[in-house]
Amino acid sequence: MIKSFLILTIFSILLSASQQIILVVANNMHTSQAKLECFEGSKKMFGTMPVNLGKNGLGWATRSHALAQSTQDALKYEGDKKAPAGIFPLSNIFGYASKSNYGLPYLYATKKLICVDDTHSNFYNQIIMAHGDEKSYEFMQRDDGQYKLGIVVDYNKKAIKGRGSCIFMHIQRAPNSATVGCTSMSEVNIQKIAKWLNKNKNPILIQIPKKSAKEVLKLYPQLKNSNLL
């Protein structure tokens, strides 16, 4: 009991340290469409934005104490075409420009930069320079321009085998076009968000189904002005 209390207390402290929040709310666990809001403290930044989720909706990152989940709700796995549901740090901006002045550390997406999705690799769920012997990966510089600018979502940082990899926020292929597990939006909107994010303000992504709204509001009372909760 004491151990559980300490875990929840530490988790609450970490949550409250986040001054910048990207909130994504879907109507349910199965839809590929959602709405996004950005908050700095209790101030809403920008307008509400439409975003695209995985083709098969959402899957929870973990069975956690933070947000209640039905046993019928799916968990997130590699290749399931679901976007992860939960609360995640945002660590890096990446893009095709060789230089940047963003408030998060920047990854220049050269033709050799890859994200490894091979569950048996020691580099699973890592963005690395290609060695030449990786069995399964995706290039961070794509011909379709969807990764021209993006944000790294720190999902599955422990690299648990098979639980999903290479989760980003990036430019959409087209309006209302589902992804294979990321969160996509218009180029104009992701530019706004990327320029706003600041590593000193511990930015996070909260991505949930509508049914988790009340719980999120209890954890983050600064989101009281949200139109999505």
Residue pointed to by tokens 């992701």: 190
User: What is the number of structural domains in the chain?
Assistant: 1
The answer to whether residue 134 sits within a structural domain is yes
- What the block records as the tokens of 89 is 């740090």
pLDDT at residue 16, as a whole number: 56
Q: Which ranges in the chain belong to alpha helices (H)?
A: 2-16, 187-196, 213-219
The answer to whether residue 160 sits within a structural domain is yes
The answer to whether residue 14 sits within a structural domain is yes
DSSP string, 86-107: EEEEEEEEEESSS----BS-EE
The answer to whether residue 32 sits within a structural domain is yes
Distance between CA atoms of 61 and 94, rounded to whole angstroms? 23
pLDDT at residue 64, as a whole number: 61
The answer to whether residue 229 sits within a structural domain is no
The answer to whether residue 228 sits within a structural domain is no
User: What is the span of the domain harbouring residue 40?
Assistant: 2-223
Three-class secondary structure of residue 68 per DSSP:
coil
Q: Which ranges in 63-164 belong to alpha helices (H)?
A: none
The answer to whether residue 183 sits within a structural domain is yes
Averaged pLDDT, groups of 10, the chain, 229 residues long: 42 66 98 98 97 98 78 95 97 96 97 96 96 90 96 96 97 98 98 98 97 96 97
Exposed e or buried b per residue across 26-42, where buried means at least 16 C-beta atoms within 10 angstroms of its C-beta:
beebebbebbbbbbbee
Amino acid in position 184: S
The closest alpha carbon to 90, from 187, 210, 212, 182, belongs to 182
